[in-house]
Amino acid sequence: GLAGEVRPVQRGQERLKEAAKLGFTSAIIPKANAPRQPIAGMEIIAVERVEQAVERFR
């Protein structure tokens, strides 16, 4: 959003599973979309604000 919050998306779990099948090994996602169970072979970084995502790359 305009204030820097990271908003959830629909079908987040399904999207992450598909990304893992395509070879992605990590994902920065909205905290509200954090998977209930781990996704094999994928590191999940759940954030609430854009600043948290940017900090992950510093």
* Domain edges within the chain: 12-56
pLDDT digit string, tens, across residues 21-48: 999 999 999 999 999 899 999 999 999 9
Helix (H) or strand (E) holding 51: helix 50-56
Contact partners, residue 23, CB within 8 Å, separation at least 6: none
* SS3 label, residue 43: strand
In order, the DSSP letters of 6-21 are PPP-TTHHHHHHHHHH
pTM, whole model, 2 decimals?
A: 0.84
* 8 Å CB contact between 16 and 27: yes
pLDDT tier for residue 57 given thresholds of 50, 70 and 90:
confident
Helix (H) or strand (E) holding 30: strand 26-30
